[in-house]
Structure 1
Amino acid sequence: MNLKKLLVLVLVMHSDAGIAQNLDTPSIKETSGYTLANLSIDSQITMFYYTDITPAVHFYGDILGLEKTLDWSWVVFFQTGSSSFIGLVTEGHDAFHDVQPSNAVMLSLVTNDLDLWYERLRQWNEVTFLKSISDSGPIRSFMVEDPGGYTVEFFQWLTPTE
């Protein structure tokens, strides 16, 4: 997925109007008896898979400073927001997926403290920067690579000019 498509997806998800209104079709109501408005999602967890999660636990816990909320040795969760988490999973065991040679998944963390995050991560020699801080369309962002090759993007929304 290119950056332009990702931004469109993020913008649609960020819309105050809500995407659920656009999906409220008769077929959804007729087939299930539910609308998207009365089905809840309580939390969100993105799972990343690793051959060895030790470097990833160091990256998300020590370098990023995220709070560890679960540690079963083969799977570790870190909180990224009030109800969002990243799960680090060791390949094998009870893992649902295998580690891939190339990861097409990107974790995007939205923050108003973008410059502070950038300076924090620059202090760690082991952090690989994929993109320096810059403005691009409706966001200002930078990207780093985690120990498993996953892209971690930090971005903030720019105030639209009137």
Structure 2
Amino acid sequence: MTGVSRLDDPMPDSPSQTTPIPPVDGVLTMFYYNDLQAAADWYHRVLGFEKILIAEGLVLFRIHEGSQLALVGKGYGSQQPLAGTNKGAILSIQTRALQQWHERIASHEAEGIGHELHRGGNGRTVEFKVRDPEGYTIEFFEWVE
């Protein structure tokens, strides 16, 4: 693609070319819910994510080694749940098993899932999206070579 850098190529004049960054051990995304139990049940039942911590106002899931999703109940944490589907954030999951994920989620008749995979990211991805019980978008995608 003309004018586009590959993801594994460093950007010209990026600070990482001259100064290495400290190690990162993982990434944690936090979503906030009015009904924490319903959301936690959905992520476990529909997506099959593994619960690794349950505490008052918090359910933590492992998505992948070093990647976790924290569901936080209303009145806990530093943020509050937002109404509607424009949350200002989505959970985007890169996978080579895109068709299997689509079939799994479609079998649960989850809201927002289309019948087919489609091109996204200006033609750079194949993807589909689904909504959780309170409107957060979860995107599953694969880069197009």
Q: TM-score, normalised by structure 2?
A: 0.83
**2:128 is aligned with 1:139:** no
Q: Which residue of 1 aligns with 2:52?
A: 69
Q: Which residue is 1:154 aligned to?
A: 140
2:61 and 2:12 mapped to 1: Cα distance?
A: 28
Q: Which runs of 4+ in 1 moved over 2 A?
A: 17-21, 23-26
Q: What is aligned with 1:6?
A: none
Q: Secondary structure at the match of 1:115?
A: helix
Q: Aligned pair in 2 of structure 1 residues 20, 60: CA closer, same or farther (>3 Å)?
A: farther
> Does structure 1 conserve the Cα–Cα contact (< 8 Å) formed by 2:91 and 2:137?
yes
**C-alpha deviation, 1:73, in angstroms:** 3.5
RMSD value over aligned CA atoms? 2.3
State how far apart, in whole Å, the 1-side matches of 2:132 and 2:107 are: 15
Q: Name whichever structure is richer in helix by fraction.
A: 1
Aligned residues: 137
Same amino acid, percent of matched pairs = 30
Larger Rg: 1
The alpha carbon displacement at 1:70 in A equals 1.0
Matched residue type, 1:97: Q
Measure the CA separation in 1 of the matches of 2:11 and 2:62. 25
Q: Measured at CA, do residues 20 and 54 of structure 1 come closer, stay the same or move farther in structure 2, by a change above 3 Å?
A: farther
The structure showing larger relative contact order (alpha-carbon pairs under 8 Å, at least 6 residues apart) is 2
Distance 2:24 2:34 in 1: 30
Structure 2 gap ranges (5+): none
Does the residue aligned with 1:128 lie in a helix, a strand or coil? Answer: coil
Report the TM-score, using the length of structure 1 for normalisation.
Answer: 0.75
Shift of residue 23 of structure 1?
2.3
Stretches of structure 1 lacking an aligned partner (at least 5 in a row)? 1-10, 27-34
Cα separation, 2, equivalents of 1:152 and 1:52: 18
Query: Does the residue aligned with 1:129 lie in a helix, a strand or coil?
Result: coil
